Chains A and B, each alone.
Chain A
């Protein structure tokens, strides 16, 4: 397969950006994540794959404490960002989320204009000194989200009026506008056509130069194309974690093998 060829490239993963150890997540009585240990490298793209309902989104949401907003959700274990425990009492989840951005599984543009959607984060964090700078940030972010050409003439139109795929890219643009150090992307291409998908993958590759990216995907090809590391989840367990090339060519666990060859899912 042509995609697999890219996996052979040299992987230069930096030191660990996020270290998660013994993470357990419970939703009430449901044990959604069981004993997960994972290192997410700096300047690396890490892909989470696994069958539906296995806990990929849940684990992703642990990394920027979005699970705090769910009443029934309890997270145990250690998650360190740059060596600091993000679940420590002294850590402000608001600041954490500014550093660890997120693109949600379901596109959720605000009922505001396209411009205001993208400018939301920069405004809150005071990233732009004046209107011109803000305009620049918005344009750059929309370009990176591969949606600039479609919306440049209607920045004042409501973001909720876009198509599903456009909304998804708007949310990507919104997330990159705040320049997070880590970007968590939950199935960012699920509603995109091949061209837009390729553009988003290009963006991920570009982001990797400076940041780390975690991407959840149901497309094996995509995982193989964009990521250096891959984690395979199954029923709340992290079954296998390693170099993407190795996971796809020489999986250690029989469950991984059957999943990537399409026998369980």
Chain B
């Protein structure tokens, strides 16, 4: 809450700075706008930015850094002997955090005074009960070391927050004052604001990139932990996926990768022809009226949540396939045991991908210049000859790019395969058998009772990272191909 108030005050300050800066600039020019170097708004914005940007920047960094610093120094306070044998430093630290926030909460609720909360003694043995009264549940009675650490944690956090408030407020006022003092009719406010905007844009771009890097790194650390506990040879080259929470698991990605690729392949087999033909129809044959209602209709498919597709797979497509291929089905064969199978998931995922392929291909086909078509038609080619021999070859690289993008979506898709593909990891060629994918195994390894120290859980990160690398590779390839294609008509 105090942080929110801090942000609001800085914003208010910036607004005041805007008005003041504008006024001062106008005054320095004697009220004549033309005598100013820049429009009055720029002077106002300049002062507002000066108050806003450094203050909020420091605030952001502080908010990110403070917990880490506090955590580190508090964690150093806990002696090794205080850590129970069946626990880790990380688990003790989470107790510390829970106690600290519990005490803060109790003070906030009025169950304790601030002084009382600071003078609690572990020996009294009533902390668990007192916190329980305000609804903070602790697993066991609080140890003295944990209580000390928690008090230290609270103290450091409070000091840090005070210091942060002070520094941020000072920065905002100082920024405002300096910019205000510099406001004069000859000051090049427009150029400064321009640079400020540039910085803002760069910040946004780097934030997006940094997040990606952060995600990759967090995955990377856990993956390295995993490979510390489990042999990488088994992971990459083993043949069996058999997690066993009592240890001694076989955790190979290959059967999962096989399932993933097989289902994606079936999905593309459905999505690419249908999507491409739909795109060709829309781009080359349909008249304006048809196009204007068919295209949005197709794109509605893209807006359906994948869980709904999952239900469709489970309740409609799966049973329908069983009606054909299952025991006592129309075909009199017994190829399919249950509703979940590669084909079920693949077909439904293909349906999901149709608008993706068609909409991208449609754009690409439309980008082929009309003069190409004219040239072909002018030589006495029919419409379909023109499409096949001129338009599609010209659009091919772009279409390949679209297909690769669709493939990377298929590989990363989760909900449909969770519900439609089954849970058995194996190498099989029969598309009517149920199989499983990387994404479904990530979900199943991370749900339920998880212990982040066992390879059976950590394998999820290794799987995730592999998946990430796979889709990243596909995306890069797709972008490369699409870009190469673009150069052709420039």
Contact = CB atoms under 8 A, between A and B. Distances in A.
Contact of B374 (A69, A109, A112): A69
7 contacts: A69-B370, A94-B381, A97-B380, A108-B371, A108-B374, A120-B379, A125-B380
Contacts of A94: 377, 380-382
Interface string A144-159: 0000000000000000
Interface residues of B, number: 22
A171 B288 CA distance: 31
A97 B382 CA distance: 10
Interface residues of A, number: 28
Interface in B129-175: none
Contacts of B375: 104, 108-110, 171, 174
Nearest to B395: A111
Please classify the interface of chain B as helix (H, G, I), strand (E, B), loop, or mixed, using the class held by over half of its residues: helix
A87 B461 CA distance: 68
Contact of A110 (B288, B377, B382, B390): B390
A121 B374 contact: no
A175 B287 CA distance: 29
A95 B380 contact: yes
B394 A101 contact: no
Contacts of A171: 375
B288 A178 contact: no
Interface string B428-449: 0000000000000000000000
A174 B381 CA distance: 13
Interface string A44-65: 0000000000000000000010
Contacts of A19: none
Contacts of A108: 369, 371-372, 374-375
A222 interface: no
Interface in A66-111: 66, 69, 71, 94-99, 101-102, 104, 106, 108-111
B288 A71 contact: yes
A10 interface: no
A124 interface: yes
A160 interface: yes
Given A106-B371, A178-B379, 12 more contacts: A66-B374, A69-B373, A97-B377, A97-B380, A101-B378, A101-B379, A110-B372, A110-B375, A120-B376, A124-B389, A125-B380, A174-B375
A64 B393 contact: no
Contacts of B373: 69
